Amino acid sequence: MKRDFLTVAEFTGSEIEGLLTRAIDLKAGKDRGACPLAGKSIGLFFEKPSTRTRVSFEVGIYQLGAQPLYLTAKEIQLNRGETIADTARVLSRYMHGLVLRTYAHSTIEEFAVHAAIPVINALSDKHHPCQSLADLMTVLEKKGRLKGIRLAYIGDGNNVANSLIEAAARVGMEVIIACPEGYEPDPEVLERSRNEAKGEIVLLRDPREAAAGADVVYTDVWVSMGQEGEAEKKRIKFQGYQVNGQLLQCARRDALVLHCLPAHRGEEITNEIMDGPNSVVFDQAENRLHTAKALLEMLIR
């Protein structure tokens, strides 16, 4: 029976930990040269532009021995009125898996309902589960554990925050979110994660309070793709939520700094911090490749 990865909530804590262990092994070169997905084809259907998501999946699919096929809405019949259901059924006859990066989460859910092959959410307006796997892998690499780690997320309670909360809750991390009023993470995600959490999940307004004693400080852009019309309003609202030298002084001396990229340097994070000794942003970006490979191995066999 096929299995999808639409949100982190679909995986248990032990499954996440097993996937991260496998990703670390792959990064270390274990099974180098093996092609577990040889002879398979995996589609990449992207409505939104991408750097890390597209390249990590395309390279990962190739390294696992499969063929990646990159598709956009303009290049297939969805652009001319073919339904998602019909498209999903047809692609299922050609491919062994489908990776989707879309605007609406409902698009991915509809693909998953009608596809006979595994569907992976590579980003939607509500969730970014593949990013959260790389986030946790980076923390595990650098700190040697996940349970009990205190992570402060500073900024917009967006799709990245939603998936990070879900993932951290399942592995026993403590998550402290600081955001302005009206920009909180999805309330359903918060409620469900708190009910299932092995660690505390706290919502605050003061970013310095959130960062106090943190092992990890995480931020993302204030204005995501598709929100350009709100840019000025959000920049005003998020004044004081910048990850800078003063904020980082509230965290532990050896705190990691994470950012899912792309970064708007000088806005949500300063150059001093982005390029500083606490930053593991580019290790985090690299880990998108290794977690993508582990996820593909897990779902497509």
Catalytic one among 54, 127, 259, 288?
288
Query: Positive or negative, the Cα torsion across 200, 159, 211, 137?
Result: positive
Query: Positive or negative, the Cα torsion across 62, 19, 101, 54?
Result: negative
288 in active site: yes
Binding residues for L-ornithine: 159, 220, 224-225
Catalytic one among 54, 127, 128, 290?
128
Give the pLDDT of residue 239: 95
The answer, yes or no, to whether residue 139 has pLDDT greater than 80, is yes
Q: Are residues 138 and 271 in the same domain?
A: yes
125 in active site: no
Q: What is the pTM of this model?
A: 0.96
14 burial via Cβ count (<10 Å: 0-12, 13-18, 19+): exposed
The answer, yes or no, to whether residue 255 has pLDDT greater than 80, is yes
Residue 3 lies in a domain: no
Give the pLDDT of residue 54: 97
Binding residues: 50-53, 77, 101, 128-131, 159, 220, 224-225, 260-261, 288
What's the rounded Cα separation, in Å, for the pair 125 and 122? 11
Q: Are residues 189 and 116 in the same domain?
A: no
Give the pLDDT of residue 104: 96
Contacts of 93 by beta carbon, 8 Å cutoff, 6+ apart = none
The answer, yes or no, to whether residue 228 has pLDDT greater than 90, is no
95 burial via Cβ count (<10 Å: 0-12, 13-18, 19+): buried
CATH code: domain of residue 162: 3.40.50.1370
Widest Cα–Cα separation across the chain = 55
Structural tokens at position 217: 């400080």
Alpha-carbon Rg for the chain in angstroms:
19
Q: Are residues 33 and 148 in the same domain?
A: no
301 in active site: no
131 in active site: yes
The answer, yes or no, to whether residue 79 has pLDDT greater than 80, is no
Amino acid of residue 134: A
24 burial via Cβ count (<10 Å: 0-12, 13-18, 19+): middle
3 in active site: no
Point out the least confidently predicted range of 7-16, 28-37, 131-140, 200-209: 28-37
Q: What is the mean pLDDT of residues 221-235?
A: 83
Question: What is the tally of structural domains in the chain?
Answer: 2
Catalytic one among 54, 101, 105, 127?
101
Q: Are residues 108 and 172 in the same domain?
A: no
Domain extent for 202: 131-283
Catalytic one among 22, 125, 127, 131?
131
Give the pLDDT of residue 1: 87
CA distances to 11, 122, 164, 268 from 192, in Å = 14, 22, 13, 28
Q: Are residues 221 and 263 in the same domain?
A: yes
Binding residues for carbamoyl phosphate: 50-53, 77, 101, 128-131, 260-261, 288
Q: Are residues 250 and 166 in the same domain?
A: yes
| Average pLDDT score over the chain | 96
By the 8 A CB rule, do 124 and 146 touch?
Answer: no
22 in active site: no
